Structures are given as C-alpha cells and as structure tokens.
Amino acid sequence: MPTRARKGRRYRGMRTHGYGQIGQHRHSGKQGGHGNAGLHKHKWSWLVINDPDHFGRDPFRPPGHPRPSRWVNVGQLDDLAKGSRSLDLTALGVGKLLGTGAVGGSYEVKVAAFTKKAQAKIEAAGGKILTKE
C-alpha cells in the first residue's frame, strides 16, 4: 500500500484517527501492554529467549541451599590471631575459610568449612585445620 493512501496520512490533523474518543487505540497496543504485562502469557516465548532469569530462580542454587554468611581469607589470619597460634573462627561468626593471601605463621584454625587451597596453605605453613563437629 502506498504511503499516501495509508490511514495515518488520510487522518493528519485529526486527533483520534477514527478510533473513537480520548485515548482509545493509543500507546500500548502495539507492544502488547505496558511494562511487564504478559510475561506469563503472550510474551512468554520472548521471556524464555531474552531474559530467562527474570523471575529470579536459579536451579543450581536451590532455596534451602546453605550459604556461609561470612568468610575470611587466609591472608587475614595474622590480623585475627593477635599473637595467638589457635583461632576459633566459628566463635567469631565466620562460616568459611578461603585461600587468598599468604599465611604469616602456623595456626591451628577451627572453622566449619574451608577450601582446598586454604587447607594447603595452612598445612604448608605448619598449621592445621579443625572442622566444627
């Protein structure tokens, strides 16, 4: 259809272009609704392709998955020790020991969880890790 014959050209200067009174047939019809309208309905296939994590569920992290609320790196043990050779990280509220940094001394560390890298660094420095029983 040629542009000169289209409705948009024929109705130039007319407010509603033949679609009735105030605001009918305006704005959101061409996009299937305003905002997130239709994401569970007619925009579902768009959602699956373009934004699969929109509703926030991660299948690799189930709702009851335990996650440590606080952790410490082995490089921070010198600051926490304050001259002592034994550290109880569970009493300090630390859930996991991570392996970043260098160990300054040999420590006996009590912690609920730790990484293999942290264990290797502690044992290489002459210390050991005790798990929470």
Q: Where are the domains of the chain?
A: 15-61, 71-131
Q: What is the Cα–Cα distance from 126 to 123, expressed in whole angstroms?
A: 5
State pLDDT tens for residues 69-117: 899 999 999 999 888 899 999 999 999 999 999 998 899 999 999 999 9
Q: What does pTM read for this prediction?
A: 0.52
CA dist., res. 38 & res. 119, Å (int)? 51
Q: How many CA atoms lie within 13 A of 40 on its CB side?
A: 1
Topology adopted by domain 71-131: Ribosomal Protein L15; Chain: K; domain 2 (3.100.10)
CA distance 121 to 23: 69
44-75 pLDDT, tens digit per residue, is 999 999 998 898 877 787 778 777 789 999 99
Q: Can you tell me the distance from the alpha carbon of 2 to that of 78, in angstroms, rounded to the nearest whole number?
A: 79
